[in-house]
Structure 1
């Protein structure tokens, strides 16, 4: 009990620290993107409702924009911790598993952005928690998920395969009906010419996990398959992974639809690694030690780059290639415009205007603004990081 309490203390301490870091990051390092602005001002999805409720309660600012998703992240981590209560033999193994899950670059990123990925992770873990606690499926939750996001079709498909293995006819029919309803309501994208995007998909997964961790994850799900060590989490992870890879042979995959289901397989991966490590004598653990050190190092590098990435602009010849370029500059630009008492803007760039609107800049006919240089502009405003000019707008006073 003392040992359990000790590791629980470590867990909640790390989670609290990460929560504070994410709040700080949301407040100081990110600006609203165009897609996020659409969710605030245009769209009417569940995502938009959640975002606008937060803004209504806490004001139109960056923390209010992102706090719901940070809270979903915290709740997801706690649910994962609860789910793995009896999964590991040792409490320290459980702590290692949950820390890896918490620090996955894809999971951390999802907690800071206005998208459905972290909501899907939370809902899936809530369903698994109910299943682990009560040893039965929550058909109410499955029905509710239908109204939240299109990607739950993947969960329904995974449950369909699981029901075949368990010979559960009720789950089989229910999951099949919900899958069909999801396809009917949301459809399935087949846009564009058939092209192979397998390498792109694998590269994104490698970014979400970190490269070595993703390779070991593939080995883990394969090993579980050949040893017939199936559980519900395995079915969900393998269905999402396999389906995304198959689809990527023909078209680009919206990875945010699949990744939330893949990352819940982290405990299985950690359990497999630690078991393989312990069954070997110390003199035969060298390869595993090297693998663990390299993996943790790469994971930490990815975490640092996820949380502290502005210095990358110093080494990138093209700033637009920065992986979070679309989340930078606009708040700083709005502050510069306010300092100069510039408001009442018009522009051909509707994306820029919608983003500026979030920070209180209104449309009007006082100034014309453009991110592209044009003839006889009156003023240029540039945004710099580390004294490097990265983003410019050009203004013309109209009256």
Structure 2
């Protein structure tokens, strides 16, 4: 099998799994706010266009993110070409990218991470093909999401290293304009979130991959081998960790830029592997096997997330709970001819069920508690009750 055929087979399998999984999840509160509460963004309009074209369903809701990450995988395959001696190495890199928990989550949850990842790899691809002319894309990226300010800062760092001082000023000016126009969240009470941030990175990349990428970035800077990809990834990582000493960081704004280090990790690993004699390659094979096994396990935990309820005592504390229940609750209410209701003290569920056809009104009250009558709605997965809602019909005067 040729590497190119293997690449498209890999992308096809990934697309099929993601499309199948898309219909089993509910819209999260963050996704609902993106659709209904926030000022319409580029990502919001793309999702709305998909819904208008394919109907209001979970597949149409998540299709833009799935397509974006598949295109990002193709761009990564091309961006990694200068870093990989053989095409099969880049196919493995794409497989690792698609198995990253953060990539899978950004394909199935409604947020801006997939758009940011696509913008990053598109710029890197154009920069490799056309050099500085790729900078014509930057003003467009600046209008799409404030997270691209991190890209501009990484470009400024690399321009400074190359002593292109005029470009440093231009990139920093673009950074300031982006943050000023789109705004960057610096609110909240000062609090140390450093350890939480490290844990989030480990969850997004898996622990082994994250630690290895940090090692690669450090090694390249120490040895003077930092290039554009290294500057972008290191700038985003260092800024996120510094800011985490003061406030909670939105990981979806920073993690996509650490993806730029993936080709560097591939190059470093294969170079270290090849320069050693066969008897001394054992630990590298062990590292590769361990990283792959963890990625496969993490991917399985995401794809078969509902099976975990069979072993949980408190379902509401499960990490995937925020992407469950809403769709099933809306379907149960509509089965009782309830198409509008109010959820006291539960703004999250109020917004989430709106996507599934249950609008807000005062005729029916739904509470997150069991009532002493048959009006309860119980949501079950694998015959395990995970949530109970009490439904009260208020008679009209």
| TM-score over 0.5 for the pair | yes
Match runs of 1:1-399 below 5 Å? 6-27=2-23, 29-43=24-38, 44-348=40-344, 349-373=346-370, 379-399=375-395
The TM-score with structure 1 as length reference comes to 0.94
- SS of 1:389's equivalent in the other structure is strand
- SS of 1:136's equivalent in the other structure is helix
The whole-number CA distance in structure 2 between the counterparts of 1:167 and 1:377 is 74
Which sections of structure 1, spanning at least 5 residues, go unmatched? Answer: none
Query: 33-42 or 51-60, which moves further after superposition?
Result: 33-42
Q: CA deviation at 1:286?
A: 1.7
Query: 53-62 or 316-325, which moves further after superposition?
Result: 316-325
Aligned-pair Cα RMSD in Å? 1.6
- SS of 1:382's equivalent in the other structure is strand
CA spacing shift, 1:370–1:92, aligned 2, 3 Å: same
The TM-score with structure 2 as length reference comes to 0.95
Contact 1:343 1:366 in 2 (8 A): no
Q: CA deviation at 1:164?
A: 0.9
- SS of 1:366's equivalent in the other structure is strand
Contact 1:343 1:364 in 2 (8 A): no
Contact 2:328 2:379 in 1 (8 A): yes
The whole-number CA distance in structure 1 between the counterparts of 2:100 and 2:343 is 39
Query: 100-109 or 65-74, which moves further after superposition?
Result: 100-109
Show CA shifts across 1:173-223 (max 9, x none): 220111111232234433333222111111111111111111111111111
Contact 2:76 2:121 in 1 (8 A): yes
The whole-number CA distance in structure 2 between the counterparts of 1:176 and 1:357 is 41
Query: 139-148 or 113-122, which moves further after superposition?
Result: 139-148
Aligned residues: 393
The whole-number CA distance in structure 2 between the counterparts of 1:368 and 1:187 is 37
